[in-house]
A and B are shown apart, each in its own frame.
Chain A
């Protein structure tokens, strides 16, 4: 392994010189110069220069009290093969990253963990997580203390649920001040009546164990027997909690044959005005005929999208199954942005963005604030300045020219958007090892005026793939476009890596 003095690393300085050259070309095409302070970094540390895992489906949380402390996750095995899965950790604002094994797993697991999302509480003293445990597939809720990050404690465990999505916060003042509130959206197949969309929540998760979690069934309408996997909760510091999900109303095709299409789904937003204690019933539709009088605003009704078992060449090897994200303005809990995906002519999935300024009662439309075809992995965030950010990944081209393009779209008002292309990488190589190829989600958060995000992509070290610059910690030769092992000479095959950015 090369020492710090001799390891090769593409620095931001070199990236900036390339960026200025690229940026001039980019400007001609309508892209923008990278803003000051922009950072994009491959999160694989130097000591893992030889790794070739498909590190897909990334997620991110930033310590709100100390934005230098950031935790990222992905389908990454413990490089040392022990019984704990890893997280990616930065203590300097994302400028350098290490991999630390703290997630309950099983020895020798090839993936570290199944689905995983994490969230700091508001004070940054604790890190919470929701996982599907490697080996058993059980839904588990986790907690550890920051900044030491010892192995995470399992707070609760049960089978038969899917895609936990974690949001944690701390009550800042008033009743319950100082209590950690944790919300984990999931698709609970054990829910009665096929109304599977659930927010598992604890209103005082920082004490114990034992820690009490309650299941709030946020789907109130009849389904095809279940809902989709995506349930996305987000909570404002004033106690307003939102969640967004797809309610599945009709299906056709065959999941084993990879032809399943959700032919009718509602994009639903629910709200609770008291930290979730009210059961997420505060946002109701008007009675007939204007609505159905039930909790949960159907922002869009009857959308259609494929729900693929396996990704195909047409979809850049990534399985497509819809995408949903919701963000609330940090300074005004009445302002909410929503992104979702559906199938449109000529597009396997089109991302739409809309807004509500009255706590979800009415929404912008009929047109979108932003529309992006052949895209997935939408992730929304709103900065303290009111600037809106949308991270998404789009397939362009066909055949050997097919690429995954990762965009960060930003807007001061939701009307005029500026696109920052973070990465444009080959979509046909490397060949996928498992599904999902790049992930069923990525993530974007805002702390203060800054956006922090994470996505997964082909890691070939080629400056042309990163038009606004890139930093690598792992050994890489940007002239020959080759990854190198820790000995800085043996070539390493390209694979999928997680990338962090902030702007």
Chain B
């Protein structure tokens, strides 16, 4: 897939975005990194967007592996779009790209000086919003076990395998009904939206939203037929029109900023 090069696209692709000054060329802060023309030592001047584990690196020297055909000069300050690569006594990151400081997009400039972890979380929400089929605001009115699974269990009470393979990674699907107040993206017919989600606390599913009746907020919905992973151990009948698999797929009403900013809604 061709790589998008605009700053917004880069901020989506890169998890660790920072403003930094090149200190050394052909150098590294870790002995485990093979040094060549693409390895540079950069001082992190300001962390703009970062996962929690990398949010405290301001003021530190780290190793950056530049992409092919990208060069920097000693003393140059740039915004680096990177992903983590090596973590030891120091850190080495793989740069997706870098831009002059003056060229960073307005949104990223606004984020500058803010909480970098929150900035990344907002980016994740933006990505989910972008890929969503439908976004609604509303309230969960019920959560049920898919009806065909209920029937299968009732029939197979004596046979634990009647409802499908027994695996510690079984998603344990549930279907939530959302009473829709407003549709913010896409189109949805009717006042009820059914969304399937994995109830399992297993490592493969623990991060997915777990809905409960009474929950109110924004629901970022993807068609269940489009999400390949939703087919895993899926019910055959009561499948739900949508599926929620990502922690960012639900945003409560009382979350400050967040999706309201993304959707351009008033506070």
- Bound-state CA distance A253–B51 (Å) is 42
The answer to the question of B54 belonging to the interface, with a C-beta cut-off of 8 Å to chain A, is yes
Whether the Cβ atoms of B89 and A229 lie closer than 8 Å is no
The answer to the question of B119 belonging to the interface, with a C-beta cut-off of 8 Å to chain A, is no
Whether the Cβ atoms of B203 and A75 lie closer than 8 Å is yes
- Bound-state CA distance A487–B59 (Å) is 11
- Output the least CB separation between B205 and chain A (Å): 8
Inside 8 A of B207's CB, which chain A residues have their CB? 110-111
Inside 8 A of B90's CB, which chain A residues have their CB? 1, 47
Among B91, B160, B202, contact of A251 (Cβ-Cβ < 8 Å):
B160
Whether the Cβ atoms of A309 and B168 lie closer than 8 Å is yes
Whether the Cβ atoms of B88 and A81 lie closer than 8 Å is no
Whether the Cβ atoms of B15 and A108 lie closer than 8 Å is yes
Whether the Cβ atoms of A229 and B160 lie closer than 8 Å is no
- Bound-state CA distance A97–B167 (Å) is 33
**Residue of chain A at shortest CB distance from B247:** A110
Q: Give the one of A97, A111, A225 with max B CB within 10 A.
A: A225
**Residue of chain A at shortest CB distance from B59:** A1
Whether the Cβ atoms of B56 and A256 lie closer than 8 Å is no
Among B30, B56, B167, contact of A487 (Cβ-Cβ < 8 Å):
B56
Size of B's binding interface in residues, CB under 8 A: 50
- Output the least CB separation between A468 and chain B (Å): 25
The answer to the question of B239 belonging to the interface, with a C-beta cut-off of 8 Å to chain A, is no
- Bound-state CA distance A433–B206 (Å) is 8
Whether the Cβ atoms of A98 and B160 lie closer than 8 Å is no
Whether the Cβ atoms of A107 and B15 lie closer than 8 Å is yes
- Output the least CB separation between A380 and chain B (Å): 22
The answer to the question of B191 belonging to the interface, with a C-beta cut-off of 8 Å to chain A, is no
Whether the Cβ atoms of A81 and B16 lie closer than 8 Å is yes
Whether the Cβ atoms of A47 and B89 lie closer than 8 Å is yes
Inside 8 A of A57's CB, which chain B residues have their CB? 203
Q: Which of B243-263 contact A (CB under 8 A)?
A: 247
- Bound-state CA distance A184–B166 (Å) is 20
Whether the Cβ atoms of B203 and A435 lie closer than 8 Å is yes
The answer to the question of A254 belonging to the interface, with a C-beta cut-off of 8 Å to chain B, is yes
Whether the Cβ atoms of B56 and A486 lie closer than 8 Å is yes
Whether the Cβ atoms of B60 and A100 lie closer than 8 Å is no
**Residue of chain A at shortest CB distance from B57:** A1
Whether the Cβ atoms of B53 and A485 lie closer than 8 Å is no
- Output the least CB separation between B136 and chain A (Å): 23
Interface stretch, picked from A129-137, A169-177, A284-292, A397-405, is A129-137
Whether the Cβ atoms of B86 and A260 lie closer than 8 Å is no
Whether the Cβ atoms of B168 and A229 lie closer than 8 Å is yes
- Bound-state CA distance A77–B228 (Å) is 22
The answer to the question of B209 belonging to the interface, with a C-beta cut-off of 8 Å to chain A, is no
Whether the Cβ atoms of A82 and B86 lie closer than 8 Å is no
The answer to the question of A436 belonging to the interface, with a C-beta cut-off of 8 Å to chain B, is yes
Whether the Cβ atoms of B228 and A136 lie closer than 8 Å is yes
Contacts A80-B84, A114-B204 given; indicate if A226 touches B166 (C-beta within 8 A). Answer: yes
**Residue of chain B at shortest CB distance from A308:** B168
Inside 8 A of A229's CB, which chain B residues have their CB? 167-168
Contact with A along B55-94 (1 / 0, CB 8 A): 0110010000000000000000000001111111111011
Contacts A4-B89, A98-B32, A108-B124 given; indicate if A81 touches B160 (C-beta within 8 A). Answer: no
The answer to the question of A219 belonging to the interface, with a C-beta cut-off of 8 Å to chain B, is no
Inside 8 A of B190's CB, which chain A residues have their CB? none
Whether the Cβ atoms of A255 and B160 lie closer than 8 Å is yes
Whether the Cβ atoms of A159 and B232 lie closer than 8 Å is yes
Q: Which of B134-168 contact A (CB under 8 A)?
A: 153, 159-161, 165-168
The answer to the question of B110 belonging to the interface, with a C-beta cut-off of 8 Å to chain A, is no
Whether the Cβ atoms of A98 and B86 lie closer than 8 Å is yes
The answer to the question of A429 belonging to the interface, with a C-beta cut-off of 8 Å to chain B, is no
Whether the Cβ atoms of B89 and A434 lie closer than 8 Å is no
The answer to the question of A310 belonging to the interface, with a C-beta cut-off of 8 Å to chain B, is yes
Sample of 29 A–B contacts (CB below 8 Å):
A48-B87, A56-B203, A57-B203, A78-B84, A80-B15, A80-B51, A82-B83, A82-B94, A99-B88, A100-B87, A101-B84, A101-B86, A108-B124, A110-B206, A110-B247, A114-B204, A159-B232, A162-B169, A224-B160, A225-B161, A225-B165, A226-B165, A229-B167, A251-B166, A309-B170, A321-B168, A434-B206, A435-B201, A436-B203
B-binding residues in A (CB < 8 A): 1, 4, 7, 45-48, 50-51, 56-57, 75, 77-84, 86, 89, 91, 96-101, 107-108, 110-111, 114-115, 132, 134-137, 148, 159-160, 162, 187, 189, 196, 224-226, 229, 251-256, 260, 307, 309-310, 319, 321, 433-436, 440, 485-487
List 9 A-B pairs, minimum CB-CB distance, nearest first: A80-B84, A82-B83, A81-B15, A98-B88, A434-B206, A79-B53, A225-B161, A99-B87, A81-B51
